[in-house]
Amino acid sequence: MRDTLAQPRLTDSNEFQPLLDSRLGKAVRAALFGTALGLASVPMVVMAEPAGSASQQYNIPAGSLDEVLNQFARQAGITLSSTPQMTQGAQSPGLQGSYATDQALRQLLNGTGLEAVSQDGTSYVLHAAPQDAALALPTTDVRGFALGNALGSMEGYNATHSQIATKTSTALLETSQSVSVVTRQQMDDQGAQTVSQTMRYTPGVLTNPYGATHRYDYVAMRGFNDGSVDNIYIDGLKSMGDSGTFSTMQIDPYFLERVDILKGPSSVLYGRSSPGGLVALTTKKPLYETFRQVQATVGTQGQRGVGFDFSGPLDDDKRIAYRLTGLTHQSDTQFDHNEEKRYALAPTLSIDFTEDTSLTLQAYLQNDPEGGYHAGVPADGALHKRNGQRISEHFFEGEPGIDSYERNQQSFGYQFEHRFNDVFTARQNFRYLDSTSPTSNKLNRYYTGADEKLHSYIIDNMLQAEYFTGAAKHTTLVGLDYQRRKTVVDWSSGGLASIDAFNPQYGNSQITYYAPTSYTRR
């Protein structure tokens, strides 16, 4: 059980964090993708949650030794490798009580003639206890669910596994593609306020190519910048949005566990995506040990916010766990007449029906009543003087009372996994998203405004098989992806009086409207 209270911290006054949950519309766009991947590797698998040296409560019932070790490794968050011959036919009385990881392993293996040898504190290999004529056998793996800690939390900056390149839990050392991982600790240490900011130190990635906006997460990778957010995925599913629209989904980084970045054309594994690569966001999932955190944030320019993160088991057997994460944030911005506000909430429930079947139910609610600044000024007058003058860094080219931005997002989904046997594992991920960006007189000096509704459905089905041919281990994945998205846009435009960038005078808010237009994207 861990209770932490984050101390208030000052943040960069030039980085403003939008806060708030939203609601989005239905979806229309269909795409079917089948993917088959083959991977030969040295057997190694990572278990679910990160291990700790502190004692942890266990209530593991008696059963076969491999099943008991499998359940223990998942709850303890360790990698545990062995050979099938070592555990075949062996029984275990289970484990009840509070133990540190090493203590628990000694208790579980007592009388079996086996011992667990630690590799790095989180990885263990089973060996026959020292005796005469001991037989050295090749290793294989005893594991929890198929993706292991490729999606879970971890300590520090160094991730060992990722699923972004293959959709399976694969050691980064065995991954042929270029993959970078930003961990939760790195996000906290950087003080990242948007997903784009989490990747500022990732090679080959240009964040915010359209300026330091907090409304959207634009990411250009390896020189490819198509002006869209099609290369951002959340829990394995596309975030859904249209280039040039206001209602594109955005998630606050406070709700993320990790950010995986895949660079290069292997991004087509996920269907339509930028050839430069893609970004996979993994949200926080329920923990099977009690965790509570509250943080307060204060800073210059009126920056203030509160966040909370609670998680833990709901039953004695630790088969049902919850996580409730929330955030509220508000601040002024660098630019005159602009504010940012966000309110967000993410309830999550995980159920382990058996050792082989799990279901995670998720919701994400975000409301952004004030979206801050999303525009720019010409280089002539900003970077370079014009007539001996520079445009103020606080200059706002819009009109107070007219320029505004509001977004509401609501998404609901689930992640289901079932392991049929030692070879086949099936997974299905689903999310429904509803996002709206309403307008009445929303207009800026580019003479555009829009009332938008985005509705989307997306479902991803995967079947994974793991098998051996001789000494080589293979992981094969086949899948089917379906997406449906519909964006309804009512577009208005008109003329507004020009403004002197060096001596702005506001108040001339008369707009000459042109004929409105409407369209639907599918």
What pLDDT does residue 255 have? 95
Question: By the 8 A CB rule, do 477 and 36 touch?
Answer: yes
pLDDT digits (tens, 9 = 90+) for 471-508: 888 889 888 888 887 777 776 666 666 666 666 766 66
Question: Phi, psi at residue 107, to the nearest 5°?
Answer: -65, -45
Query: Per-residue pLDDT tens for 288-308?
Result: 899 999 999 988 878 899 999
Q: Name residues whose C-beta falls within 8 Å of residue 456's C-beta, 6 or more positions apart in sequence.
A: 24, 25, 26, 27, 28, 29, 240, 432, 433, 483, 484, 485, 486
Q: Compute the Cα dihedral for 332, 333, 337, 341 and give only its sign.
A: negative
What are the φ/ψ torsions at residue 173 (nearest 5 degrees)? -65, -20
Q: Where are the beta strands (DSSP E) in 333-471?
A: 339-352, 357-371, 407-419, 424-437, 448-469
Q: What's the chain's average pLDDT?
A: 76
pLDDT band at 1 (very low <50, low <70, confident <90, very high): very low
Distance CA 57, CA 320 (A): 15
Cβ-contact 445, 463 below 8 angstroms = no
pTM of the shown model: 0.61
Report the CATH superfamily, name and number, of domain 161-282.
Answer: TonB-dependent receptor, plug domain (2.170.130.10)
Distances in whole angstroms, Cα of residue 425 to Cα of each of 150, 331, 492: 16, 46, 50
As a whole number of angstroms, the distance between CA 275 and CA 272 comes to 9
SS3 state of residue 336: coil
pLDDT for 310 beyond 90 = yes
| Homologous superfamily (CATH) for 284-521 | TonB-dependent receptor, beta-barrel domain (2.40.170.20)
Tell me the CA end-to-end span of the chain in Å, nearest whole number: 48
Question: Where along the chain do its domains lie?
Answer: 60-128, 161-282, 284-521
Determine which of 144-148, 221-225, 287-291, 382-386 has the lowest per-residue pLDDT on average: 144-148
Structure tokens given for 152: 């879970």
pLDDT of residue 505: 63
Chosen CATH of 60-128 out of 3.55.50.30, 1.20.1560.10, 3.60.15.10, 3.40.50.620: 3.55.50.30
Tokens of 470: 């001789």
Token pair of 350 as six digits: 């995980």
Q: What is the pLDDT of residues 167-203, one digit of tens each?
A: 888 888 888 889 999 999 999 999 888 888 899 899 9
